[in-house]
């Protein structure tokens, strides 16, 4: 990837993210790289997308909303009520503007890492899954099985994570973003796409 210096990205993130988020970020980057090796995806893109997926996570809600307003990024009703969801959209924006990422697949992987989307690319699936299974994650249901499954059957792992995420959100009575529901519905019907 041209214009992208992984070391520089890491240094910058170490300054802007809190310690816990930075550790999570490194975990996602090397888990994504391992998944890319396993499924013959671009390892460098996996690392960059993994590093940058949460680059807007430690920004205040006000700042995220402000960036969206100034940049003409649409804020949905769901995002207005749950502004943390915006870290994906704002993350994509920062990846392009501050980290000079031009690759659309990497930018999409950042944009869709929280809710997923119907018809995800290989790289988008890798980041979505790596975010869920990276070594620092401790509390997700079925984590041991999903970690093993991810390296054997990426699509089965994706569906399991979507299912467990919806179950978790229902359990804690948290509103479900229409995109999260749509993604699940899509992959239940299209198990191997
Ligand atoms: O940023 P991270 O914590 O690393 O991971 P993430 O961006 O995937 O966010 C994880 C949280 O997002 C997890 O607790 C599940 C939640 N989430 C995913 N889809 C939805 C959602 N939360 C709400 N309220 N609605 C959703 O549709
Ligand atoms: Fe995130
Ligand atoms: Fe994350």
Mind giving me the DSSP string for 119-144? T--HHHHHHHHHHHHSTT----TTHH
Number of other residues whose CB lies within 10 A of the CB of residue 181: 14
Residue 191: its pLDDT value, please?
80
Query: Alpha carbon 155 to chain centroid distance?
Result: 16
Residue 127, both tokens: 């980041």
Ligand 3 centroid, distance to 69 Cα (angstroms): 24
pLDDT in tens, 14-68: 999 999 999 999 999 999 999 999 999 999 999 999 999 999 999 999 999 999 9
Q: Closest ligand 1 atom, CA of 82?
A: 24
Residues in the chain, pLDDT under 50: none
- Whose structure tokens read 């919806």? 166
- Residue 108 CA neighbour count, 13 Å, CB half: 14
Q: Whose CA is nearest to atom 16 of ligand 1?
A: 114
98 found inside a domain: yes
Nearest 5°: phi and psi at 145?
-70, -45
CATH for 105: 1.10.3210.10
> Does residue 54 line the site of ligand 1, with CB under 6 A?
yes
> Against a cut of 0.85, is the pTM above it?
yes
**Domain assignment of residue 97, given as a range:** 6-189
1 found inside a domain: no
> Does residue 180 line the site of ligand 1, with CB under 6 A?
yes
Ligand 2 centroid, distance to 38 Cα (angstroms): 23
Beta strands in 44-169 (DSSP E): none
Residue 193: its pLDDT value, please?
66
- Whose structure tokens read 């996996």? 46
Residue 177: its pLDDT value, please?
97
25 found inside a domain: yes
18 found inside a domain: yes
How many independent structural domains does the chain possess?
1
């Amino acid at each position: 990837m041209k214009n992208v210096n992984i070391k520089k990205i890491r240094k910058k993130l170490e300054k802007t993210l809190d310690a816990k988020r930075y550790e999570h970020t490194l975990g996602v980057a090397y888990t994504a790289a391992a998944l890319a090796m396993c499924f013959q995806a671009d390892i460098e893109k996996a690392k960059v997308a993994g590093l940058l997926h949460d680059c807007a996570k430690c920004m205040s809600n006000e700042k995220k909303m402000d960036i969206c307003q100034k940049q003409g990024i649409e804020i949905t009703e769901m995002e207005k009520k749950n502004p943390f969801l915006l870290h994906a959209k704002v993350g994509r924006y920062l990846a392009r503007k501050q980290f000079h990422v031009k690759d659309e697949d990497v930018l999409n992987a950042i944009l869709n890492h929280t809710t997923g989307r119907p018809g995800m690319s290989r790289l988008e699936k890798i980041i979505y899954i790596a975010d869920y299974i990276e070594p620092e994650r401790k509390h997700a249901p079925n984590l041991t099985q999903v970690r093993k499954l991810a390296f054997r059957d990426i699509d089965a792992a994706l569906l399991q994570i979507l299912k467990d995420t919806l179950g978790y959100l229902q359990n804690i009575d948290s509103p479900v973003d229409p995109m999260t529901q749509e993604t699940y519905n899509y992959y239940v019907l299209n198990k191997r796409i």
